Structure 1
Amino acid sequence: MTTKDGLIVLSGGMDSVTLLYEYQDSLALAVSFDYGSKHNARELPYARLHCERLGIEHLTIPLSFIGQHFRSALLEGGGAIPKGSYDEENMAATVVPFRNGIMLSIAAGLAESRGLTKVYLANHFGDHAIYPDCRASFIRPMHEAILQGTSNAVEVTAPYTDISKGDIARHGKLLGINYAETWSCYEGGDLQCGSCATCIERREAMQEAGIEDPTHYKQ
């Protein structure tokens, strides 16, 4: 029998939902963060939905200070989300400074408080060029700091660090995940826009995995 000694940082997007299903037998707790992003209101209900379905405890922790004091187009009031595919110039605006560092620190403290020994994060290779806190060069020292800084030696487990979103979608296909019950679009709103970088990446990942995209897009 697998020991449930893990906590997952769960957004409600494709990557973290796939990780949730893949490692569900090891997870005692899922944690989402409401940090003032334009798409929080669309992602968080999916995070709750999947946790309820799998019988995994789910917490949402408010981080309103990020939305109030940090600068990013991803945040409410932060300017327009760039359109088009990922590239350094147009996606730099969507970086939320040290977001994963902040969330991992909180998750590590929560894991230590609960006696859990693993924190799961769904960062992936496709994020690395744009988002510094998704790279292996960030995850490795963060893992070591958390390991040394917690009384029960909490480990950061980031199994998607060196694979693409298309690879993640392949995992999800094998797991039978309905990606209509996930959210990617940075704009929020009633429908995913279909033309921002995350929507484009979502479409391409499902195409690579041979999944018929169930998402309703604006365009």
Structure 2
Amino acid sequence: MKTLVICSGGLDSVSLAHMIADQQTLTRLVSFDYGQRHRKELDFAARCAARLNVPHHVIDMRNIGAALTGSALTDDIDVPDGHYAEETMKITVVPNRNAIMLTIAYGIAAANGDEAVATAVHGGDHFIYPDCRPAFTESFDTMQRAALDGYADVRLSTPFVHRSKADIVTEGAKVDTPFADTWSCYKGGQHHCGRCGTCVERREAFDLAGIADPTTYEDPDFWKAAVKAAEAR
């Protein structure tokens, strides 16, 4: 099944791209510049596309992102430290981000004869990101099938929507995903900060998967306290 992958340049989406490439069904990567705090992650997406020898479409959504105010990922608001299970992490929500990106990706897939749009949303995203939950992805797929009825047959592939980030690390390792060549941190420094929600989740995922984490963190041990604090909620 010819598959387009939405790729941010992060661990999850790069792993998914490598998994689908291993199945020899990857057609292209699509990334989005929505005015996020830094574009560093897009460089990692570009490197992934080059490595897998597929086209890379970068969609300029900066004008749209400017209207989606109130998120620490797009506004001048400090990115909170801690685990995603903390209420404070809701400030990282960009309203309807995935719905908008998926709509564009479906259009690109239909225009190019692709049969699936794959996204690496996973079970750990459910707490704070409503457009990563199964209820959303299932409904969205139904809506898009109606939107393209009679023109194209494109399905949504979400292989990790009921699984964990540790599962992504495990499956990504099986296809030799170069984890060191992915970027997750929301702060965009020289190295991963080790303290923001996505850094904590990343570090925890490697630990749970029992796979060595090649990432350099500014604060490599913060994740332990963050996980304990989340578990004590």
TM-score strictly above 0.5: yes
| Whole-angstrom CA distance in 2 between matches of 1:100 and 1:78 | 21
Per-residue CA distance 1:102-153 (angstroms, 9 max, x = gap): 0000001111111212111110000001100000000001001111211112
Match for residue 132 of structure 2?
A: 134
Contact 1:15 1:122 in 2 (8 A): yes
Pairs aligned (count):
214
1:87 alignment partner, SS class:
coil
| Whole-angstrom CA distance in 2 between matches of 1:67 and 1:102 | 10
TM-score, scaled to structure 2: 0.89
1:23 alignment partner, SS class:
helix
Per-residue CA distance 1:190-215 (angstroms, 9 max, x = gap): 21110111101100101112222111
Q: For residues 33-112 of structure 1, what are the structure 2 equivalents within 5 Å?
A: 33-39=32-38, 41-71=39-69, 72-75=71-74, 77-112=75-110
Per-residue CA distance 1:13-52 (angstroms, 9 max, x = gap): 011011101111111111000111114x221111111111
1:176 counterpart = 2:176: yes
Name which of 129, 145, 148 aligns with 2:146. Answer: 148
| Whole-angstrom CA distance in 1 between matches of 2:106 and 2:119 | 11
Q: Residue type matched to 1:78 in 2?
A: D
2:27 alignment partner, SS class:
strand
Contact 1:11 1:47 in 2 (8 A): yes
Name which of 11, 15, 38 aligns with 2:12. Answer: 15
Match for residue 216 of structure 2?
A: 216
Q: Which moved more, 1:126-135 or 1:202-211?
A: 202-211
Match for residue 160 of structure 2?
A: 160
* Identity, % of aligned positions: 43
Contact 1:143 1:155 in 2 (8 A): yes
| Whole-angstrom CA distance in 1 between matches of 2:30 and 2:44 | 13
Runs (4+) of structure 1 exceeding 3 A deviation are none
Contact 1:37 1:74 in 2 (8 A): yes
Q: Residue type matched to 1:37 in 2?
A: Q
1:6 counterpart = 2:8: no
2:185 alignment partner, SS class:
coil
Q: Which moved more, 1:84-93 or 1:179-188?
A: 84-93
Contact 1:88 1:129 in 2 (8 A): no
Q: CA RMSD in A?
A: 1.2
Gaps of 5+ in 2: 220-233
